[in-house]
Structure 1
Amino acid sequence: MADKVYVDNNEATAAWNTVLFDRFSQYRHIFVVALKRFGDVAIAGQPPRSGDRILDIGCGFGDTAQQLASVAGPESHVVGVDAAERFIEAAQEEAAAAGVENVEFRVADVQTEALSGPYDYAFARMGTMFFANPVAAMRNVRQSLRPGATLVMVVWRRKLDNEWMYRSEEVVDRHVPKPNAEESEALTCGPGPFSMANADTTGDVLKAAGFEQMTFRRVDIDMFVGQDPAEAVEVALALGPAAETVRLAGDDADRVRPLIEQDLLALAGEYQTAAGEIVAPASAWIVSARVPDAG
């Protein structure tokens, strides 16, 4: 796929507010459960303190904001932000239904809009990889934090170490000419889920944004991607690199879709457990950084 130059987050926001929201909702039982396992490790390793003011970046359905509010206790206050209005609407409804009172949710483009604050702690579970200008976005986050505050974020490591996403994209690539993202009318999710996979690059982004004391902790899990091969194929073609290639390719992909699905079913069989589920290795960084002390 040809590289695409992103000048703002408008296209990614539109994608997450439409097709990606729909697909994330449909397969929430897979994606959110898998991402939560990484988030749980990150929060357990560097939890917010009791009473903290907390910023949840790219909060999605708001489940992490509710979790952070519980960890930090009733005196804390969590603000969840997401550029996609439909996610914020869902987050507000679910928090109200759960009776969680110390959270609030706002529609905001982290790259360009004021995030209020000052916050004591910022968290992001796979919510920072889609910025057109990550330095500007992370600088905005840093400016919303008090001196000495902590940032913790979870981002995917390299695609090669996330086997289901990597190998399913290889399957699609065998059948579909690489589409030109600049020419396709299909929406993309911005730079994509692996834009922060390189620790050196991400460290440089955070340093340029004004953070210090960056650390990277590798976390590997076995990620559930389907209750059976058929669902795993649906998931691969719904969200992720393979799905984006198929969407951008349009008719070229539709013509060979049966062949793609056939090969993906065979691939899924390689990861099938004795119980019939499809489980594949996945890997992420837990990144932490600190805002310099005042003076």
Structure 2
Amino acid sequence: MDDSNRVIVEAWNTVLYEKFCRFRHLLVDGLSQHSDAAFERCRFPQGARVLDVGCGFGDSTLRIAQRVGPGGAAVGTDCAENFIRSAEADANAASVHNAHFFVGDAQWGDLRGPYDYAFARFGTMFFEMPGAAMRNIRNALKPGGVFTQIVWRRREENPWLHEAELAVRKIVPVVAHEDSGQVHCGPGPFSMSGPDMVSTMLRGAGFERITFERYDCDICIGRDLDDAIAFAMALGPAGEIIRLAGEEGEKRKPQVVAALTQALAPFVRPNGIWAPSSTWFISATNPIL
């Protein structure tokens, strides 16, 4: 693992891993709507070998393994060892024998290619050096191989994150990563939201035939309002502001709860808290030389 990623890896292996486990019911079930729609478009064929970048709990890797069949392989990689251990345990429990996992740095590490396809669901926005990661992923693909990634679009199109962040910013002092002395998640969920910047990055990494498709759907952000507020205070930009503020963030939590109650109330439905979400499905091809 490259030393420049040490702080980010530590965050994903400790505090963020613990929070992801706590809210796994929202992160897996809610976000899978986006990957399900993406899978309908990329349709990994039987026998294909597919890399799942930033696989997290490995639920998307297991889905890919089902699609490629016993003659294919789904290979999940993540920088955080705790996520990989969890993914391996789930694969073993489900007796999915064509899903494999390893701890790796997608920016610089050996990705154990070649692969026919690569996939990433919300796994590329936190790279410290995304251009290097795109180049490394392309080098792991066979000529003609396709990389599909799902990333969040603009903040304003994802009010479940943005409204919570705006509410918290009015109450909690914002501390920069470098000033906090704490581990952090990296650039953040909207770092890949600009298609011009991302297409230029992918072109610079050597990809061609780069396409963007917008996909919108409502996702469940809480079983009830208390669950949604706890989710917002733990993860995403709002949760990061509170955590990095340390004691000051803890002190102001009662005010934050009141503000988030008001901000998230419009999303209440009889079956939970549902809010609009918007992503890009980005496809890029490794040229055939």
Residue 38 of structure 1 deviates from its aligned partner by 0.3
1:42 correspondence with 2:44: no
Task: Select the residue among 126, 141, 151 that pairs with 2:147.
Answer: 151
After TM superposition, list the pairs within 5 Å mapping 1:1-295 onto structure 2: 8-273=4-269, 275=270, 277-294=272-289
- What is the alpha-carbon distance in structure 1 between the residues aligned to residue 208 and residue 75 of structure 2? 23
Residue 43 of structure 1 deviates from its aligned partner by 0.9
Secondary structure of 2:120's counterpart equals: strand
Residue 9 of structure 1 deviates from its aligned partner by 2.1
- What is the alpha-carbon distance in structure 1 between the residues aligned to residue 220 and residue 139 of structure 2? 37
- What is the alpha-carbon distance in structure 1 between the residues aligned to residue 56 and residue 260 of structure 2? 28
Does 263-272 or 95-104 show the bigger shift?
263-272
> Structure 1, residues 144-199: CA drift from partner, whole Å, max 9, x if none?
10000111110011111100100001111111122132110221111111110001
Secondary structure of 1:201's counterpart equals: helix
> Structure 1, residues 40-79: CA drift from partner, whole Å, max 9, x if none?
1111111112101111100111111110111111110111
Secondary structure of 2:66's counterpart equals: helix
- What is the alpha-carbon distance in structure 1 between the residues aligned to residue 217 and residue 5 of structure 2? 30
Residue 282 of structure 1 deviates from its aligned partner by 0.6
Residue 8 of structure 1 deviates from its aligned partner by 2.6
Contact 1:8 1:133 in 2 (8 A): no
Secondary structure of 2:77's counterpart equals: strand
Residue 276 of structure 1 deviates from its aligned partner by 5.3
Q: What is the aligned residue count?
A: 288
Residue 207 of structure 1 deviates from its aligned partner by 0.8
The runs of 4+ residues in structure 1 deviating greater than 2 Å are none
Secondary structure of 2:4's counterpart equals: coil
> How high is the TM-score relative to the length of structure 2?
0.97
- What is the alpha-carbon distance in structure 2 between the residues aligned to residue 139 and residue 225 of structure 1? 34
Identical aligned residues as a percent: 43
- What is the alpha-carbon distance in structure 2 between the residues aligned to residue 133 and residue 54 of structure 1? 23
- What is the alpha-carbon distance in structure 1 between the residues aligned to residue 31 and residue 49 of structure 2? 23
Opposite residue 95 of structure 2, the aligned amino acid is: G
Contact 1:175 1:256 in 2 (8 A): yes
- What is the alpha-carbon distance in structure 2 between the residues aligned to residue 186 and residue 170 of structure 1? 22
Contact 1:58 1:128 in 2 (8 A): yes
* Greater fraction helix: 2
> How high is the TM-score relative to the length of structure 1?
0.95
Contact 2:68 2:74 in 1 (8 A): no
- What is the alpha-carbon distance in structure 1 between the residues aligned to residue 17 and residue 147 of structure 2? 26
Residue 223 of structure 1 deviates from its aligned partner by 1.3
Structure 1 unaligned residues grouped into runs of 5+: 1-6
